[in-house]
Each structure stands twice: as structure tokens, then as C-alpha cells.
Structure 1
Amino acid sequence: MLRSGITIYRLGRFVYNKYVTQKLVPAAYRQVHSESDFDHPDEVKYQEAPAGEFVKVYNFKKFLTYSHNPDERKAIENFQELQDSKGGIYAQLNYAMSHIEWKKLFLYGEKYKNPLLSDYGVGQFAEGEHLEVRLLSDATTIDSQPEFYVGVQIITHDNSFILANNVSPNLLKPQIDLRWSENLAGYEVIYPAPQNTVAVPFAYKYFGNFLIPIKVKVKNPEEPLLLQAKIDLNSCTGELFCLPETFRLALMVLPGQDYAYANGYQNYFQQQLNILPEKEAQYFELTKFVADKDSSGESLRLEFLTHKKTEGFKIFIEDKDGYNTFSAPYISILDNKIFVRFEPTDKNAALADSEYVITAVFNGNDAYRTTRLAAKASLFDTQAQSLNLGLLFIAFIGGVILNFMPCVFPVLSLKIIALSRAGGQKKRKLKKSLLLTVTGIFSGFTLLILMLCGAKFAGYSLGWGMQYQNMTFLVVMAFLLAAFMALLPELQSKLPNFGSSSENKLDFVIGNLIVLLSTPCTGPYLATAVGFALVGGYGDIIGILYAVALGLSLPYIMALCLKNPEALLPSSGKWLGRLQKAMQTMLVLTILWFLTLVYNQTNIWCVLLLTAALLIFMGLFALYQKFRDYLNGVFDENVSLETLERLRKISTLLIIGFAAVCVSGISVYAEKTHLQNMIKYAQTHKTAIDKTLIAEKLAEGKPVLLEIGADWCLTCRYNGAVTLNDFNLQRWKEMYQLEFIRVDWTNYNKEVLDFMGKYGRKGLPFYILYTPLLRDGFVLPEMFKRDDFESLLLSAMTH
């Protein structure tokens, strides 16, 4: 029984070894693909080399026929089987299935070579210090098309990278020379979009597994193409510690053969070709490339128009010789536009009319490359670094728009009061009123210009709306608004009797107050124009602010030009009473806003003191008005007109004196409290930009989001509640290790203002994102959503 079992076992093992194993693992014969690779054994052709010369052999397999190895003879016989298998799709499939080792199927391409992929068009790796290099061909063989792609595949190791631009005569980007190739009519090296280096802003890099494609053209498609390449590159580590390396590689691509299998790199080539920079991008376009010039020298400015939401943006620039002579770019996103500014390392460099190669990558995969001349900025370029007609025009438009913006309540209310007062006046009198209002507006801007130029001369940095950080200004404005609110009932019926020129004074004062209350309102166009003026020179300030004054005065000037301006004004009626109540409400809200600003920068006692002083002032002002009305009604012969006039002046001086004492006393107390709070606030809040802290976080590989805001910035508060809330910040910290730094500018800080000015911004809120690859920051829009920010963050962090 035992002997029978052993016999059956041996018989089964014999059958398994003889039939099953042969089916699973075919004989290890050499695979043959081309008839030209072998000479038939019966037709051996021996070529004798002439004296002093040698025979060039294009393929070592030609020598197989000189061998008597039975395996190699069997390989020749298999060639005929391969030819016979080309009869149809089923025959080819049968051949493929018969050559697959099923045990290794899932490890093909990883551990084992795929027998269905040829070695045609695949070069051998040459090893360097921290990298491997080889030649590849997109085409397995040369077909009827004389042009196709080959490429240099480079794989870097140990956190090394390849220099992607020229840094110095000894540190160049990869140089590929194919001049020693045979049957090559011409070639074009196409460099992929580079990446930023971490520590050196003027150096770009390639790293990982990447391909430098080369478009080649053969002379004769019926002959082999022998590529012989000399490749010079710089392998770098750390902060540009580079090792120059030279590789000499060869690759042969044979003439077209239908039976040649693919080499498996077609998809790899297609992926690499898809991310190459194109002459025309899909979702964005370069609309402007100019050289700006200001007092510090020239700089390059680029403007891109996007046709899709911006989720990431990178840009690289080289001169015609391949060098990057610029510091890291300043990038800012605004709606569907991207603004980029490059400052040269040499401040005396002449940039206009020079040629540059610009490479930009939008949203990670839309790459664009162009060669452009940097033109001089035109006189109507609104983004120029020097004052021109375009900037003056947008300043004028900004002033016009300011007439329709209720960002500061009294701006709208005082204008309506100025017009409604003149409703029942005669044409001559009405035009005089409008002219005085225009004069008041220009007078207010003249005063503002003098203050800004004086502050600039004294060495202070300037910011639009920075007066709201001055306690004296806030207290004075609160008293002026309280006086206007008390005057509203009288403005409805008659003019206050300040003397023979009271009517003129009121029109003039309204024009000045419109200017003072309009200063924090940086609406469309105005922010660009005023921001430019504040970082510019004295001429820029004068030109821009007078252009804004002209725009703000335009409605009054247009009314002055009309033949009958009174026809535009409504007649008196009940609407004036409703307007009075609306204006009183707006003025009360504005006063409350001023009190809030004082509270945020001082304490509750200062606010209570100011509130009490305002209430007493308004009460005394009401008594003052009644007393003046009483004096105006006195017709006693025993009281001379001189006495009545003297009493009016005394009462006016008393009310002004009370207001002056209150303003001076409260201002001194408020400024002292404000200074104390600034000292305490600096201990608990960041009021300055800590560049050392930012550098430390970046060195740890963490991104940093810096916000500059203020208590009086409403947009800052909105973003804090909707986007930059605690939940989102904690989410980003856990997912991306994001460090959030909030700098408070409620109290004026010159260094913070200078920092924003570096990016061409002077207003709040200000957001800038830093990553290890963008160490100079990426300015974000003033308002953004969570998903938009996450997309930008991911793009800025990835290579």
C-alpha cells in the first residue's frame, strides 16, 4: 500500500514538472525582435577591416551567429516563431500570454523586468555623487515621422537638487550637447518649469525624478539614430553647495519596425510633456510686462489676468543669458488679477528694453513660458511706480466715487445738508454757496497735504486714516459732530447768525469737514492712488490728493456750470424734517463710533469723561442758541446795537472756550492713557513684526500666516469671524502646522507701515503667507474663503 502511494506521488510529480511547470515558466531563451539583429547561421558575412581602420558595429547581437551556444541558436529559431505570431490579434495575444511568468506578474516593473516591454529607446543609468542620469526615447523605433522626443531622465537622492538656472559662470543650469550624434539633423532642449530653492532666492532647482525633454529630428528615418550626449550639470545640497558633474551617455534608436514592443515609457513621457511650459497658458495670460522707475531705481512689474480662481501661483525670471539677477518676487492677488514685482539686486541696473524669459505656473499644472522685452511704463499706467496721468485719473475717479460711499456717515449727511440748505436760495446766492463748499474741500485737502508733507519731512511714515489713532483728533471731531447735530434744527429753518458772513463760513466749514471725515474711506481706485502717494515723494502727495479733491468736488462744480442749478434742488417740505432726523441718527452713530475708537485705545473712564463733556457741551450749545435768538429779538431803545453785538461775541467766546478747555483736558488725559495702554498692550499683543520668529518657523518647515489688523478695521473683524476663526486656525495648525501671527496696528507703528509699503499696500487688513519656499511672502486678498486659502497654502507649500 505504501509502495503504491509512493509510485503515484512520483508519477504526479513527474507530470507536474514536465507539463505544468513548463507552462508556468517558459524556457529562458533569449527573446528576438528584429531580423536585422541577427545573421542567419548559413549566411555569415565576415567583413575584413582595411589596414589602419576598424569596422563599426551598431549592435553587438550581430555576433551571435558566430557562437555555437545552443541557447543562442534556439533564440534564432524563436525569431521565426515571433514572425509567425504576427498573423493576427489572437496570435499576438497567444505569444504574449505564452511569455508571461504568472508567478512574477504582479512584480513586473518593480522587481522583475516585464518580458512584454522592449529595451529599445532605454539607456543605461550613469551614477553621480547624489544622482542617476540616463537617456530615454519616447519612440521605441524611428517611424515615418522624422521628429520625436528623447529626454534626459535625472533622479536625485539625499535631498540634493540640480541647479535650474545660471548663477555664475561656474554654476550653470544643465547643458546638453548632442553635436557628436549621428543621423541627427537638429535638436531643441526644452527645460521644464523649475522650483524655488529654500535658502537662495536667486537660484532655481530641479529635484526628484524628472525629465528634460529634447525634440530631435533625424536626417534619414531609414537609418539608426545614434545619440551621443555630453551633459554638464551642477548637483547641489544645502545652501548652494554645488558639485559640477559631467556625463557622457549614448542611446541608439533603430529604424521603424512594426513588431517592436513599446518600452513602457510612453506614459512617462506624456506626463512630463504635459507639464512643460507652453507659449499660451490655458487659464491665465500675461497682460503687462513693464519696467517701472522711481527714486530707488528700476523694477520689473508683471500683471496676469486669470480665467479661473487662483489656487496657487509661482513665477521665475531669467535674463537672455539664463541668469536671475533679481531678489524674490513680491506677489499680490486681487480678484482675477495677479501682480508681481521683481527688484534687481543691482539698484543701478537698466531694465527697460531688455529681454527676459518668464516662466509661470498657475494652480500647479498650467505652465507658461515666454520671452519678452520689458517696455517702459506708459503715462496712463495706473500701476506705475512714478506719478503719471493714469494715476491722476484714478485718483480723480476715486474722489468721484467717494461722493456715493457711506463708509463714513457724516460724509453723506453733510453733503446732503449743504445741498438742502441751498434749496430755496436764488441762483446767484446758490452758486456762491456751492463755490464756497468747493473752496472748503480744496482748503481741507491743502491742509491735509501740508500735514502729510510735514510729517514726511520729519521722517514719519504715512498712512491713510492714521489720524484715527490720534486721541486729540478723535476728541475734536466728536465735539464738532456734536455741534453740527445741535445745529441741524436751525439749519432746517434758517442760517445761524454768526455775523454778516455766517452763511459763507458755514459753507466753507462744511467743505473742510467733508475732507476730514472722508480720509479713512479708501474705496475703489482711491486705495491704489492714495497708497501710491503716501509711499511716494512730495510731488506725488500733492498731485494725487488734489486730483481726489477735484473728484470729490465734481458734483458741486457740475452744478456751478448749469444755467439754472436751483432747478435740480427740491423745494422745502416735510421731507426736510425726515432728513433732519435721519442726519441726526447718522451723526449720533458716528459719535458713538468715535467713542468706540477712544475706548479701544484708552479706557472706560476716558470714554465716560468724554461722553459727559459732550452732553454738557450740547446742553450749553442749546442754551447758547436760545440766548442768541433772544438777543436777536431785543428791540429795546435802551440797549444799543453795540451792546447786543458784544453780548453775542462774549457768548460765542464762552461756548468756544468751554469746548477748548474740554478738548484740551480730555485730549491730554486720553493721550496719557493711550500711551500707558500702548505699553501694556505691547506686553500682551504683538504690535511689531517679529521677523526672527517667522524665520524660525520657516526653518522648522512650517508655513506662517501674518495678519496686520486694528480694532477699527471692520473688514478685519469680519474675516476673523468668518475665515480666521479659532476652529479654522486649529484645523490648519493640525493639518498643515500653520503658525498664525496677528499684529495689531490699532496703535500707530512706523515699522509696520513701512513693512506694508514694501508690498505696495498701506491699508488694512493686510495678510501675507510665508512658506519655506516663499520666504519673502505671498500677499493675499483682503477677503478670502477657507477653501481658497487652503488651496493657496497647499500650492505654496508643495514643490
Structure 2
Amino acid sequence: MKTAKFVGYLRWFSVCLSLLMSSLSWAQGSPSTGWLTSSDHDAVQVKLAVTGEFNPETRTLPALLTVQLKDEWKTYWRAPGEGGIPPRIDLASSQGIERIDWHWPTPSEYYVQSIRTAGYKHQVTFPLEIVVSEATERAQLDAVFTLSSCTNICVLTDFPLQLNIDVNQLTPDSEQSFAFAQAMSQIPQPIGSAEVTHADYNADDQQLSFVLSRTSGWDSPQVFVHSDDKQLNEVVFKLVQQKVSVDGKRLTASFKASHWLELPELVNRQVSITVNDDPFSAAYATQLDRSTSTTTNEALDSMTIWGALFAALLGGLILNIMPCVLPVLGIKVQSLIANSNASARQVRYQFLATAMGVISTFVVIGALLGLLKLSGVRISWGMQFQNPWFITTLAVITLAFAINLFGLYQIRLPQWLNQWALKSQRSSLLGHFSQGVFATVLATPCTAPFLGTAVAFALGAPMYLLLLIFFGLGIGMALPWLSIAAFPQTRKLLPKPGPWLKWVKPIFGALLLATSVWLFTLLTPHWSKASSESTSAEQTSERPWQTLSFKTIHQAVTQGKVVFVDVTADWCITCKANKLGVLEQEPVYSALAAPDLIRMRGDWTVRNDYITDYLRAYGQYGVPYNRVYGPGAPEGIELPIILTSDAVMQAIKEARNE
């Protein structure tokens, strides 16, 4: 009897003990998973632990997710960059868990060849906030933590995270709370000693540009971009090569945005910039403005397609009186005079052939620029003159034409082509067509009024609009030839042929010879390393020009000085005309020598990305470009393409606030 009674008491005690142990399993002060490893990948171990400090108002429970990695293994940040997968937690099997909010420590950048990623090595602790569904109920965390880790290979590992959480039974753990506070101190926050001064997005080249300033300057900053916007979840922000530059207190970084399917609109979207400049670490949320170099910027917003086409027609027409084209135009007029006995039909065909040469060359140039743009190349008007092989080829062709005009030899077509031309009675038309091609190629280093506006619109527009605008440029430049083709009788207005014509060819030959010599001189910067690395080509002891620098412009304006910026190139005929006709003439010459005026030059003869960035900042795709800054115009006053003394003097006065 006593034995049976004892057995009953023992059973009752066992039940109570079981209930007590079960209760204790829900009432741990700070539940933890302990260290978890995978038999398939022992280079990584993880642990999840909660602090026990539950906040009933926000229904949040702080926790720490610690990842330890052996040797050179690394894992990834929230925006891993060009490769990698960010860590993630799948809560699908959990009960009573609404979500988990992550906090991400400042990452470091890693390169595998040219691929840049953002992440962590050795150990990283992620502060988490577990949000439960109800503040008075138990919750069951039954999640899967997926972690990507890499060395020369990458491994994707799943770790089960299982915790029983009774918010009414939790007790704070001081050690875990201290560790959580330490981990949160590593999360980048905005710091007042630095700020984002510029953030924009250029839809044309899909690039984000940021400028950050810091009172104590920068050392070796690493910059990372991400967005919490769900529509931007799969957008990759790739750091553009060599686009993180430091200029004293100013940091400039550019990122290329891409999406595996279709890139969403980024203008006016919120992004975060994280900067790691050990020991400085900060993050700033900013809104992306529309880039001033985007074709839909304020300068071009009001321009319709018809407006751009009208500008293209005028710009192309004006090219005919630019120094670049005059030799070829003169040769054409001379040939018209010499063949005054030709029938109206012959004249019409010849001039139509030349016009077709002009138009088709413009369309081909537009197509090539469009293809380069699609491939990611930063395109610009006249960019081919930054290539020494193009310059050499054009110089040799120009020299050959010059020698031909002097009568030293005759340019002959290959025999098979000559026979085909004779059979088809188009031998002369090929020559006239080539004149149009040649004139167009020689015109590309020139920038005329209206041309810059049309080209800026075209180079930032979709492919079909780009081709349409370049077709308009071709029509504009071909108008003189098309006019004579339409009205052959206009040749009667020209002088009658006579003995004086024998001097015309040598004169135009001399012009082409001078053009050839000039083209050969353009190769000098490519031969001279010092010249090719310079951003402000010219220095003289009497009137020195300073190197183009945003920082210097800002400092000078802050000090109350005026800055005159001249962006030029040796191959730009319009630039030379501005220099000789205005900048080196009175009263501008003396005005630019004033003590309170800084003269700054950017030499774009050879490709220079810094100068390209400067031009793009103002929606420009070619040279010449002149701008005047000062206390009265801190953002600068843009000058016309063809400078005049009045325009320069007036801009200087306005910049001085006079």
C-alpha cells in the first residue's frame, strides 16, 4: 500500500518536473541557438542570441546574429555589388513572428579581377530586431538563415534558426545587451562633419553621380550605394572605374545602374550612400535629382523634336561657312565654274551626289555614336579627333587631295571600280559623292551656333531620335548643294570661266595643304606624355592659365574672385577663332588680366574624363565651352559658342556683381 502510494507521488512529481522544465524552456533569460555549423561547409559558423529586453510598445526584441568565417572566406553586404548574394532569413515556418529588421555594419570593398563586391571577412555581427505579432503571446522562430560565402569558390549554406520566445517570461541579459549596443554603434549613421552636396541620375548613360564634402577632408574612402525602395531591390549599382576621386574636402563618385530586366525610373527615388574611410564611417539618405546633363533637363525640357530638328537644320547650314569646310566648298564652286557648259541635268546629278555624301555621312556618324553609347562609351561631338589614328588617316587623305590640286599626280580609282563607273556612267558622281563625305568629316571638329544644342539633344536621345537629328544636320549642311540641284540655273550668277581659274586650284590646294599640316600638328599631344596628361594645356610666364578644377572655382568664388573657364581643343577650329578673335584682343585681353580674375583652361585635345565630367555637368557634348563664375554668378554664366567681346565683358561684369 505504501509502495503504491509512493509510486503515485513519484508519478505526480515527474509530471510537475516535466511541466516545470517545459516552462523553463520558454522562460530563458536570453534564448540562443548556440554556434551552428554545417557538415558540408565548416568554414562558417553562426549564432543567434536575443538580449531579453522586449519592448511591448513596438513589439520588438533585440537580437544578435553573429557570423564567423575562417581564413579568407567572406560574406556579403545588403547590396553585394557586381557579384554575390546578400544574407537572408526565411520566416515561412515561424509562428507569431511578423518580421525581422536588419541593421547592417559598414562593409569593405573587395575585388576579384575587375569585379567589385561589398561585404565582410573573419567576423561580422548583425544587430536584428525581431518583431512579434502580439505583445502578450508566445512566438516560435523556425527560420532558415541562408548565407553566401566565398573565397576562390562560393558556397551557399542554410542554417536552421529555432528559438521559443515567450515575451512575458524574458529577462534582460546584460552581456547580450552590451554586445547589442556595441554592434549598433558599428551601424553607419549620418555624421554632421560630412554631407551629400550633390546627388543626381543621368538617364542617358544610366549613371548616378554623388559629391560629398567633409570638413577634415578624405583619405582613402570606399563608397557604397543601396536603396530600401522595393522597386529598386534588383538594381545593381556598379562603381564606374576610376570615378571615386578625392579633391581635398570633396569626394566624387559615379555608379552605373543596371537591372537584369528593365531599369526602373530612378529620378526622385531615395537612395543611401555609405562611406567607409577608416575610422570614419557614415551613411546618408538622399534623393536623386535629374542630372543637368540629361536630355530632359531644364535647358532642353522646352525643346520639342521639331525644335531640335530646326536647330539641326540651322546648325548644319552654318557649318558651310566654318573654316573647316571652306576648302571643300571652294573646290566645289570652282568645279561648277569650270564646267559651266555642263547641262542642267548633269549639274543636278552632281550636286545631288554631293548632298547625298553629306547626308549619308552624318547618318553614319550618328549611327556609330549611337552604337558606342549603347555599349557604354561616353560619346561626344568631335571625339574622333581625340584618336591619333583617325587624325593621321585624315591628314594623309587631305595631303593627297592637296597634292592632286597642285597637279603633281592624279588620284585614280582601282581599275575594277573605274570600269564599273564608266559602264554605269557614274564616274563623276563617285567623285562628287566623296566630296560630300570629305566635307562632312572635316566639319566634325567645328561647333557652330545651334549645332551644340541639336547635338546635345541628339546624343542624349533614343536611337531613332539621334538618327533623325543627325539626318537633319546632314540636310542643313547639304542645303547649298540641294539648292543648286533644285535650281541649276543659279550657276549663271557665278563668274565666267577664264584664265584666272588656273590659279584657283593651287589656292585651294594650299588651303588643303595647310589643313593637312594642321592635322599633323594635332598628333603632338599624343606623342608627348606630359601634354596628354595635362588638363590645362597652356602655361605662359606672362599670363598663366590654371588647371580646370571644381575645387578651385568654388574657393575662388568664395573669396570674391571671378573665374573665366575656357574648355578648348587644338583640333577645334571654332576654339581657335574665339582665342585669336576675342580672348587675345582688347578689351577682353586686359579684362582677363585683372588681379581679381582667375583664368582656367581645360584642354580636351586628348580625351580627359575630368573635363568630360565638367562638360556633362552643364549638358555639353563638345567644345568650345566658356563659362564665367563670380560672387554675382556662383553657378556660372554660360557664354555663346561664337564669342563676342560684348558677351564676355558683360558676363564678367555680372559675375563681379557690378
TM-score interval for Structure 1 and Structure 2 normalised by the shorter chain = 0.3 to 0.5
TM-score when normalising by structure 2: 0.46
TM-score when normalising by structure 1: 0.38
Larger radius of gyration: 1
Higher strand share: 2
Higher helix share: 1
